[in-house]
């Protein structure tokens, strides 16, 4: 059995959970269910109850693609890949599958009469995901597929490493703020907080990377 086989089996089980939940609640659903929500978390799009399987299908497809990409990165990016990265990328691949599975469960749950506001589920989950991704960032070596792939980070390894140290801290704290803030704030305010925090999490590391480049990649 290949070393990657257990992870693949775990990934398949995780991605099957939203389908199992959808099949479980399907008989109890009305003929028409909510399929889209506005910024306030209110349904503004509807479809037949058979569309309950669409969300898990999309999340599973994205999850499997991401899983295979990160698990086999050494085959796609041989010039940049380092052997010590293999364990990190396989953990990251499985983590992203967990995220996609959770997304599928949330999307499926929104079709039930007992569902709470989707922003109270989805935005905190994204915040937690950003925070965990921030923890991984300083551990990821220079590559073309994951991380801040800016011209300056890809050109210089010191720029890559320092940028990802800064980004890691910002993403951890930013993700925690998003997870807590979007859960306690009203829907519109939570959405604005999430967008504003995400912009900060992207802009600050990018500016840091560029400024370091302009200094000759010196701190």
* Same domain for 76 and 137: no
Tens of pLDDT, residues 111-138: 777 767 778 888 999 999 999 999 989 9
Q: Could you list the pLDDT tens digit for every one of the 219 residues in the chain?
A: 455 678 888 999 999 999 999 899 888 888 887 777 776 667 766 778 888 898 888 889 998 988 888 887 777 765 555 666 667 788 888 889 999 999 888 888 887 777 677 788 889 999 999 999 999 899 888 888 788 889 999 989 999 999 999 999 999 999 999 999 999 898 889 999 999 999 999 999 999 999 999 998 887
DSSP-derived secondary structure for 11-52:
HHHHHHHHHHHHHHHGGGS-SEEEEEE-TTS-EEEEEEGGGG
* Same domain for 7 and 108: yes
Q: Which residue range forms the structural domain that includes residue 51? A: 1-115
* Same domain for 123 and 106: no
Tens of pLDDT, residues 16-52: 999 999 899 888 888 887 777 776 667 766 778 888 8
* Same domain for 126 and 74: no
How many distinct structural domains can be found in the chain? 2
The alpha carbon dihedral of 165, 170, 171, 175 has a sign of positive
What's the pLDDT score for residue 77? 66
């Amino acid at each position: 059995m290949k070393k990657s086989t257990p992870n693949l089996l775990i990934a398949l089980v995780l991605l099957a959970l939203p389908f199992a939940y959808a099949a479980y609640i399907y008989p109890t659903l009305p003929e028409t269910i909510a399929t889209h929500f506005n910024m306030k978390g209110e349904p503004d799009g509807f479809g037949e109850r058979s569309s309950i399987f669409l969300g898990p299908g999309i999340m599973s497809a994205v999850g499997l693609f991401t899983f295979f990409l990160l698990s086999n990165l050494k085959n796609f990016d041989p010039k940049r890949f380092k052997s010590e990265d293999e364990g990190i990328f396989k953990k990251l691949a499985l983590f992203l599958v967990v995220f996609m599975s959770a997304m599928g469960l949330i999307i499926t749950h929104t079709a039930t009469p007992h569902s709470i506001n989707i922003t109270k589920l989805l935005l905190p989950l994204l915040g937690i995901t950003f925070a965990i991704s921030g923890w991984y960032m300083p551990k990821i070596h220079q590559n073309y597929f994951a991380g801040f792939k800016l011209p300056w980070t890809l050109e210089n390894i010191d720029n890559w490493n320092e940028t990802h140290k800064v980004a890691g801290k910002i993403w951890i704290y930013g993700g925690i703020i998003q997870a807590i803030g979007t859960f306690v704030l009203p829907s519109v305010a939570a959405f604005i907080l999430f967008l504003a925090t995400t912009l900060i999490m992207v802009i600050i590391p990018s500016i840091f990377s560029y400024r370091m480049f302009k200094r000759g990649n010196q701190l």
